[in-house]
Structure 1
Amino acid sequence: MYNNLKKIIHSVLSKKNIFKIEPYLRRGWSVFYLGSKHQCTICKTKFKNWISLPNQDNVCPRCGSLSRDRRLWQLIEQNYLKPHSNVLDFSPSRSLFRIWKKQHTYYTATDLSGDFISDNQYDITAIPEDENTFDLIICYHVLEHVIEDRKAMNELYRILKPTGTLLVQTPFKEGDIYEDYSITTKEERLKHFEQEDHVRIYSVEGLKNRLTKSGFKVEIKPFKKDTFYGLTDNEIIFVLKKN
């Protein structure tokens, strides 16, 4: 029912209007899921069940967070949620955007596509910010969309403070990075890269090597499944610092 209702709402309302009314719709819908078996790390609400997506991911009924959003916020709360930190977030989830805006005055969200809530529309390959500006940069599921990804990595390095942290995540495959820029149609990109607007699939080592060449010190952090918080098994997050 949830997935069908979502399709109907998206067919009759603009993205701008959906962004506005979504919190109120979810507040009412989440009443049917309340319990004590699970808890969202973002909105802190407890539920008897998650909402299950066709890809088997678990969605929070209250704030709409995906499992990767909940893991990211858990990591941020435990390690990087500090007063007066200057934060830049690329294409953030709506649940994370809203919680950042409630408690952090130095948070900036940017999205070039227009598919996400944001303050700015920065081109990640030419970011209009000064060197050494940000204490924390979040770049989740962005680089696989960018043809000039090495240029983007260089820009991220440039604007990160010497003491700052960059958090990166993308989909991964075994073996080498797979990319072919002659593949340009949505149909072919879906077939080859598993999503219509992806231009590659990284391997863990391949992404590490590219980030290292941009100057980053790379730590690869694997995480295990957590049923209570709805977190998936074998999730990988790159934690990057300047050398």
Structure 2
Amino acid sequence: MGLFKVLLNTIPRPLLIKVSSLVKPILAIYYKGNKYTDPIDGKSYRKFLPYGYEIQRKNVLGPSTLSLERHRLLWLYLKKNSDFFNTPKKLLHVAPEQCFYRLFKKQENLDYTTTDLFSPLADVKANICDLPFENDSYDVVFCNHVLEHIIEDRKAMSELFRVLKPGGWGVFQIPQDINRLNTYENSTIKTPKERRKHFGQYDHVRVYGIDYFDRLRASGFSVELFKVVDQFSEAEIKKYALMKNEILPICKKPL
């Protein structure tokens, strides 16, 4: 078992977040090069680090920002396909990612709130199925790689819809098997060992299929699919170390 896999599976996430901030400068220097670029900070490296709780993926973790494929994809979408960096927005960030947290905090155009039950980066400790925010409060909501952990995911989706302003939008990424039409879940599977076997990670409660987008639509969202293969060249996919088959769901609350 690789060192990073051991750390991921033994150190609690809140502590891992705190420790990782100390090692980032060292990693950035050690891996410096010109083969791959992290678009979040624009720095280039000879390679990225491996990452994965169960199966280690090679060349995916950005040394200085600790970004993964999904983070770099979201950043590229926000830069190229949105006005996220240019207009005033009230932003709710559920389970805030470390690679974005300080950057979003510094953005003068953002009124930025973070929420989570356990993360040390959360301003508000809250359950996603019962968010303590008023209806129609936020222009943008990010909730990435959270719903696969939530037993009542439809309830969580309804809460995300409730707190979003009409005309507002959100990005709700999840790990997804695009070759699976229907989501696989089984409420009798409860132990970390069983969940690892069935869902690929000890704290996941399902494997989402393509019908994930229908669940979002059933909650009231209109959903646009931002597909890596349609938006980026082979050279860009390699340069930014993106996941070729990933689909970014852009979820809008109708006016």
- TM-score interval, normalised by the smaller of the two chains: 0.7 to 0.9
CA-based RMSD of the aligned residues comes to: 2.4
Please, which runs of 5 or more residues in structure 1 have no aligned partner? none
Match of 1:100 among 100, 104, 108: 104
Q: Tell me, yes or no, if structure 1 residue 190 matches structure 2 residue 200.
A: no
In structure 2, the partner of 1:236 is: 247
Residue 179 to residue 116, structure 1, CA distance change in 2 (3 Å): farther
Q: Secondary structure at the match of 1:238?
A: strand
Rounded Cα–Cα distance in structure 2 between residues aligned with 1:187 and 1:14: 17
Q: Tell me, yes or no, if structure 1 residue 75 matches structure 2 residue 80.
A: no
In structure 1, the partner of 2:21 is: 23
In structure 2, the partner of 1:121 is: 125
Rounded Cα–Cα distance in structure 1 between residues aligned with 2:205 and 2:9: 26
For 1:214-238, what per-residue CA distance to the aligned partner results, in whole angstroms no more than 9, with x for missing partners? 1111112211351111212011111
Residue 145 to residue 16, structure 1, CA distance change in 2 (3 Å): closer
Give the % identical residues.
Answer: 33
Cα displacement (A) at 1:197: 1.2
Q: Tell me, yes or no, if structure 1 residue 219 matches structure 2 residue 217.
A: no
Residue 176 to residue 15, structure 1, CA distance change in 2 (3 Å): closer
Q: TM-score when scaled to structure 1?
A: 0.88
In structure 2, the partner of 1:32 is: 30
Please, which runs of 5 or more residues in structure 2 have no aligned partner? none
Rounded Cα–Cα distance in structure 1 between residues aligned with 2:174 and 2:8: 28
Q: Secondary structure at the match of 1:166?
A: strand
Match of 2:159 among 155, 158, 177: 155
For 1:112-151, what per-residue CA distance to the aligned partner results, in whole angstroms no more than 9, with x for missing partners? 2x25632222211111111111111111111111111111
Cα displacement (A) at 1:88: 1.0
Aligned residues: 238
Cα displacement (A) at 1:188: 0.9
Q: Tell me, yes or no, if structure 1 residue 170 matches structure 2 residue 174.
A: yes
Rounded Cα–Cα distance in structure 2 between residues aligned with 1:118 and 1:151: 21
Cα displacement (A) at 1:21: 5.3
